[in-house]
Chain A
Amino acid sequence: MRADAEFFESTADARVESIPLSHLSIELGHFYSPDLSRDVDFFADHFRRIARWSATARAACRDAVQGKTARISTCVLIDDYFGQPESPRTLLPKLLAAAREGGLELDYLARESGCADPVDPADADPAEPADDAPAGLSLAELVEARIVEDPPPDSTGARPPVHHTGWLCNGQRSPATDRHEAMKRPSTWLPPAENAAVNHSIFADIELWRDGERGRQWSCAMLAAVWQLLRLGVLRDKGRRVAVPRPLPDELPDDWRRLPAVLRLNERAAPFSAYRTMTICAPLFLPIENAVRTIMQQVAVDPAVLDQLGGRGADEGIALPPAVVDRIEYLFVDTGPVHGAGPG
């Protein structure tokens, strides 16, 4: 008789860490540095204008979970990457007071640099000293590595991945026609084409990064895509959680970079990441969000993470759309005057 033997080696199986999840993550603001120095009234006006839309999003979520307690968290994103906002000591109390005045509660605040800087090696597990962890990759690098480009018709596996240009599009570019090389006939203009066009194309070409003297600068669109994926709880570094929200320190520093990527402002907040996200923003953000969606369409999330989220959703009676880009929603509304929301 043969014994039924089992043998495991722990590094040989690829487990992914699980994270706490809300039903919905509502983004109440994406503030650029020109606006971040405004007074408390500016922010209060912003929050007052979107309060009714936030309430509607909450009501829709409560309906969707059918009588169970809806777990909803709110967040704002501040730009400390393209500009230098006021110090946390000044800005944080101002934001919190304005939100209260507008009838909203801020649960989490994230820094845009947190998406571009190397992942915080510190882990919640004190048994594993952080010194052992090699310098991590940035969240943006983790996402870029997972981009699987939308192939134009007649592409086979022989087509090498194009990682080196910093541009990502949703189709085929128009061939360059402006070369005036000797001995070369000028070619006729050909239009670009969207791969999944319905009759006519809406071609989008997105700049992900640009390399300069001070290294790589990620685009606002890329960082915003990372931000959406982080909120959807689908990012991992070697199977481990990334940018875990940390509570506010007792004493606020002067420099944003001394704060974690995601700060928990409200101790009773529902989990930061969620099955779905709702972003309430001004119509001015539409081009950026189109770029975000174009990027997210081409990010191949780890199937093990997708399975894990899908399974947990199913246990709660929630059917998640298979594609992560279909888990994000928007409300484009008048949020008052906005400065600096250019496609950076």
Chain B
Amino acid sequence: MLVLGEVQTTALRHSGDVPRELAESVLALLAGERVRVSERPIGYAVSPHTFTGVDCRIAARSGARVRGVGTLMGRVCLTGGRVLQSSAVVRVEPVGGGYRRAWSHYLARLGVVETLGRTDLPGTAAAHLDADRRASTMGMGALCNRLLAEVQGSSLLDRRPPVRARRTVLRWAALTDEDVQAARVRLTVREDGLRSVRLLLGQAAVADVVALCEDLALHDWLLTALLSIIEQSQIGVGEPVQIIHRLRPAVDHLLHLWMPAARLDGFALSVWEGLEGRPGLSRQWDASVRRIRDQIAMAAALVNRAPDAVQLFR
């Protein structure tokens, strides 16, 4: 089985708290369907699944292209009332025949794209991960963009994100093979900033793979946002008061959100454990958090000091 996906992560354009009702309203992408909300161990809300029909050429690494027909699943989730993610997911399934069936056939298997013709699944996975940032497979990037825009454009949001950080794009491909004993993962940060995750799994449910990749994208974005705030705070250059002022959004809005694998279990936990070994996302996060706290402690120590003592801290 091959599952492809893309996750885009950004800050919700809203400065205030996001109570449950607000989360439910802005994520209501499909009339008559519930927004699922959970509070433990971290505030989390996920929109209903939406589906978009596609009939397009899918690239394989060899340069060959095959026609794929079916639907992409799209959803949006909000973590801690701050981090907004849109996700496009599709299971690619080769079928015999080579002709397109009635559309009702594809709507009876939502989230699946059938390829009409010979398909090299590992090649398709590689082509998806290696593609240019602007040319995502089956228009997944455009779908993610549209979903984010739909939520961010809600009139219920005040459009003042308290944290300014770049949107990150994580593309992933998961191949499952029953013979695989231990899950394998490869996380790459490309030169153009795009993250790619290649997973090789034993038996796995699509929903669990999606949850894992969204969780990886969430934490990658948190770390990226935190590092960017630290960089812009000019530690060691600016005045302590200014530095603290620039670090404050991280303390107010980001530090409590780090919770790897909060809602995951099974193979997803083992993938996280693997990534903690190398590249060690939590290690870098912890070091960054300590750096911020040290700056705050130092600034506190400088308050109410006699001018001559302040020299010691320069």
Q: Which residues of A contact B (CB under 8 A)?
A: 7, 9, 11-14, 137, 141-142, 144-146, 148-161, 170, 195-196, 236-239, 296-303, 306, 322-326
Contacts and interface: CB of A to CB of B under 8 A. Distances in A.
Q: Give the 7 A-B CB pairs with smallest separation, nearest first.
A: A156-B139, A158-B142, A157-B139, A158-B139, A157-B143, A323-B104, A145-B31
A154 B56 contact: yes
13 contacts: A7-B40, A11-B36, A11-B37, A142-B31, A148-B52, A148-B71, A151-B54, A154-B56, A157-B72, A170-B103, A300-B51, A322-B109, A323-B107
B117 interface: no
A206 B140 CA distance: 29
Contacts of B109: 322
A208 B291 CA distance: 60
A12 B23 CA distance: 13
Contacts, number: 118
A141 B31 contact: yes
B228 interface: no
B103 A298 contact: yes
B138 interface: yes
Given A151-B55, A195-B55, A298-B103, A9 B140 contact: no
Given A9-B37, A145-B33, 16 more contacts: A9-B38, A11-B38, A12-B36, A146-B32, A148-B71, A151-B69, A153-B55, A153-B56, A157-B88, A157-B139, A157-B143, A160-B146, A239-B34, A300-B51, A303-B110, A324-B108
Contact of B36 (A13, A153, A158, A298): A13
B138 A156 contact: yes
Interface in B33-69: 33-34, 36-40, 51-57, 67, 69
Contacts of B51: 148, 300
B50 to A, nearest CB: 9
A144 B32 CA distance: 10
B52 to A, nearest CB: 5
Contacts of B52: 148, 157, 159, 161
Contacts of A299: 107
B54 A156 contact: yes
B54 A306 contact: no
Interface of B: 30-34, 36-40, 51-57, 67, 69, 71-72, 74, 88, 100-105, 107-110, 138-140, 142-143, 146
A297 B104 contact: yes
Contact of B104 (A153, A159, A303, A326): A326
Contacts of A237: 32
Contacts of A12: 36-38
Contacts of A170: 103
A302 B108 CA distance: 9
A323 B105 contact: yes
Contacts of B105: 322-323
Contacts of A150: 53, 103
B43 to A, nearest CB: 11
B127 to A, nearest CB: 14
Contacts of A239: 34
A216 B93 CA distance: 40
A154 B55 contact: yes
A97 to B, nearest CB: 39
A7 B32 CA distance: 27
